[in-house]
Amino acid sequence: MSSKGNTSGADPSWGKRSDLEVLNRDIRRVDGPDKATGRAVYTHDVRLPNMLHAAVLMHPVPRADIRTMDISAAEALPGVVYVLRVKEDGKDVQYSGDDAVLAVVAAESPEAAMDGVRAIVVDAENKEPVVSTERAKEPDAPLVARRRRATSNITSRRARGEEDAVKAALEASAAMVEMEIEIPVQHHVCLEPHGHVVDPGGEGENATVYASTQAVSGMSGAFAGKGMLNRKASEIRALTPHMGGGFGAKFGPGLEGRLAAQIARATGRPVHLVLSRSNEFTMGGNRSGSKQSLKLGADKTGKFTAIHVVAERHGGFGGGAFPGAPYRYAVPSVFVDTMSVKTATDSSRAMRAPGHPQASFGMESVVDQIAYALKMDPVDVRKKNLTADTHHRQLDRVAQEIGWNDHPNRTAPGTPKNGRAVGIGFGVAGWSPGGRDCQCDVTVHPDGSVISATATQDLGTGARTYVAAIVAEELGLTVDQVTPRIGDSDLPPSVASGGSVTTGSSAPAIKDAAHKMREALEAKLEPVLQAPVGGYIWTGGRVHSEEDPTNSLAWTEVCALLRDPLQVSGRFQKSLYEGRIHGVQAAKVEVDTMTGRVKVLKMVAMQDQGLPLNRMALRSQINGGMIQALSYGLLERRVFDESDGYLLSDNLDLYKIAGAQEMPEMVAIIDDEDERDSVCGMAEAPIIPGQSAIANAIYNACGARLTRMPFTPDNVLEAIHGEV
């Protein structure tokens, strides 16, 4: 960067984009080589001396009375060191998930631990599973949770708006559409399952937790206490050098962390407890499903008049998520009735944009349908009812990129030719990322080495890279001249990665520390280069006097002025952050109307987020959102046997996710007309509208309205033949 210093004492700013030499460019991830070569160490890879391996025994069905559990055979097996009973005789299992964990076996090897699990004998009486939301809603359904004064599995019901006024407005509308929407549960499918390695430490030693977590700074406190390691938080160090995905499911220790801590405390040995893939599907959390009944009205110009929504959240033992309606669109008259329907299944957890993809699918479906009912262009109708100018320009750009302006089906769905039809659909998104207190230390050594340190974790989104890049920009260095240190609770505290808050919180703190370091170095340069603080340009590994550019020093010469390492601390600065983003996506699909197969040909997404720190990582996040949405729309569905409660989709063979064969051409567009001098996270928004755009593209292709996810051939054929 041509880093023209601010005047002494001035607040830091990101500077003119035209002056940036590191940020707002494509930056290769600093951890890329380690991940590509296998050198990167994840929690599962940790191997410690004298370490025990633990495996979990779960009851296979959601509801049961545990009569007896005999662990003696497991305890007698060679290699088994400790068996922890989680359920005592006479206790019950209320739901599939944490409550179904019966015991944990710790042994000298993973194989011995699994042998121990298989040796435990359980005598249980299975009860009606109540895994179906339809069954859960019936008056005679068993109550899933023993809530005080509960009489039904329908909970948390809230209504907003004047229903009679909305009904009157709908009846007076020039057009009105109504639709019933069904959305299944989606699993996070993190490649790294939940788990921890807990080392209790020896006599006089601190404990160490190697955690797959989205909240490194909070993990020491979470593992303290009598139910865990029974240590002070200051005596526990949490490490997350690398992490294989979280998407919202990995904040606290979870039951798996608590059990690992208890065994470590009881045995005095390190314990490795990482869930199996089957356990991950059963107890790792999920995105809640939804059922929605929507009615949307519009006048003859395409302006919306009223909306009536009744929405169920299907969060299993949890409450589920749904942000309300209307989603992103301006509607003057609104009635929304929401409720949770409890089932005896694993509780939903936060998942990338919690509740928003579900709300998007319902809203975008009726928006599209009313446009066709009025014989209007769905893009034009969206623009009439979106208040943000940003959405308008993004719709225009995405429509151009996807080929909408030359598409024949702009006001009515197409007709298949030779059993095949091509269509285009749209969806919009938005998010409000947070910005919170966060800290960073920057240290410069006399030998020229630079360290940028903050406890933040990198979920795979590229945080580690900008921890170095922001400092490199400020000091006129290259990224490889700055060593980023992250994923360690002993470092300056950072935020938990959820709700797209990480970049908006940590980047301003890093910038603040880098700015302070530059000023501290300039104070030491003043006697040498005869310029005041704020009177220097840092670029190309040199520092120049602004008044006399020939008066300069190389970076190593600057550092040679230091007798000892120089360290400064930075904190979150609100002036460097703004949390408001918009996005638009389009999908182009081909539908085989004979087989019901849908092939996504192309997806386009445009996203704003203020200053892009790393354009390559930003496009990667946008592409990742489109891929997850495509997978959600086309393939993913959790399946229980409703008669006995067995989870039938507890592996990656039976729970389908998108792979290389499903990948379309993907175009990720960074909205460079967004010139805000601020940063914020944006990873939530790209997951939101993709499945909605695909469903709308299917209708645009052949007139088959998909109201049920996933868009598998059977559902497509039913829609084509009017059976849904």
Residue 7: burial class (beta carbons within 10 Å; 0-12, 13-18, 19+): exposed
561 domain residue, yes or no: yes
Q: Which residues of the chain have pLDDT under 70?
A: 1-9, 723-724
pLDDT of residue 723: 67
The answer to whether the beta carbons of residues 584 and 428 sit under 8 Å apart is yes
- List the structure tokens of 625: 């959102």
274, 304, 334 - which closes a domain: 274
Number of compact structural domains in the chain? 3
Using CA atoms, how far apart are residues 663 and 661, in angstroms rounded to an integer?
Answer: 6
The answer to whether the beta carbons of residues 689 and 427 sit under 8 Å apart is yes
The answer to whether the beta carbons of residues 510 and 466 sit under 8 Å apart is yes
363 domain residue, yes or no: yes
Handedness of CA 26, 29, 32, 34 (dihedral sign): positive
3-class DSSP state for residue 256?
Answer: helix
pLDDT digits (tens, 9 = 90+) for 307-341: 999 999 999 999 999 999 999 999 999 999 999 99
Phi first, then psi, for residue 617 (nearest 5°) are -65, -35
246, 274, 302 - which closes a domain: 274
Q: Model's pTM, two decimal places?
A: 0.97
Whether residues 533 and 604 share a domain: the answer is no
223, 240, 274 - which closes a domain: 274
158 domain residue, yes or no: no
pLDDT of residue 7: 45
Whether residues 510 and 565 share a domain: the answer is yes
* Residue 117 host element (H or E): helix 110-119
Whether residues 301 and 424 share a domain: the answer is yes
391 domain residue, yes or no: yes
Helices (H), 440-501: 463-475
3-class DSSP state for residue 19?
Answer: helix
Q: Residues 6 or more apart from 264 whose CB is under 8 A from it?
A: 198, 199, 200, 207, 229, 270, 271
Whether residues 559 and 583 share a domain: the answer is no
Whether residues 124 and 255 share a domain: the answer is yes
pLDDT of residue 9: 54
pLDDT of residue 3: 52
Using CA atoms, how far apart are residues 405 and 587, in angstroms rounded to an integer?
Answer: 14
Q: How many Cα atoms within 13 Å fall on the side-chain side of residue 484?
A: 29
Whether residues 448 and 321 share a domain: the answer is no
Domain that holds residue 666: 289-433+579-720
Q: Let me know the angle formed at the C-alpha of 646 by 644 and 651, rounded to the nearest 5 degrees.
A: 165
- List the structure tokens of 687: 């997951």
Using CA atoms, how far apart are residues 310 and 330, in angstroms rounded to an integer?
Answer: 18
Eight-state DSSP code of residue 97: S
Using CA atoms, how far apart are residues 281 and 652, in angstroms rounded to an integer?
Answer: 9
413 domain residue, yes or no: yes
Using CA atoms, how far apart are residues 193 and 275, in angstroms rounded to an integer?
Answer: 6
Whether residues 100 and 201 share a domain: the answer is yes
* Cross-strand pairs, 428: 584
pLDDT of residue 285: 97
Whether residues 428 and 469 share a domain: the answer is no
3-class DSSP state for residue 471?
Answer: helix
- List the structure tokens of 32: 């890329």
Whether residues 384 and 500 share a domain: the answer is no
Q: Which residue's structure tokens are 């290769």? A: 28
165 domain residue, yes or no: no
- List the structure tokens of 645: 């409660």
The answer to whether the beta carbons of residues 695 and 710 sit under 8 Å apart is no
pLDDT of residue 150: 82
Using CA atoms, how far apart are residues 574 and 387, in angstroms rounded to an integer?
Answer: 26
- CATH number for the domain that contains residue 528: 3.30.365.10
Whether residues 331 and 453 share a domain: the answer is no
Whether residues 571 and 703 share a domain: the answer is no
Whether residues 641 and 539 share a domain: the answer is no
The answer to whether the beta carbons of residues 362 and 179 sit under 8 Å apart is yes
Residue 270: burial class (beta carbons within 10 Å; 0-12, 13-18, 19+): buried
The answer to whether the beta carbons of residues 435 and 579 sit under 8 Å apart is yes
pLDDT digits (tens, 9 = 90+) for 121-163: 999 999 999 999 999 999 999 999 877 778 999 999 999 999 9
26 domain residue, yes or no: no
The answer to whether the beta carbons of residues 88 and 70 sit under 8 Å apart is no
Q: Please confirm whether the linkage preceding 270 is cis (ω < 30° from 0).
A: no
pLDDT digits (tens, 9 = 90+) for 205-238: 999 999 999 999 999 999 998 899 999 999 999 9
* Cross-strand pairs, 582: 430
515 domain residue, yes or no: yes
**Amino acid in position 41:** V
Q: What is the DSSP string of 508-546?
A: HHHHHHHHHHHHHHHHHHHHHH---TT-EEEETTEEEES
- CATH number for the domain that contains residue 117: 3.90.1170.50
The number of helices, as runs of H, and strands, as runs of E, in the chain is: 17, 27
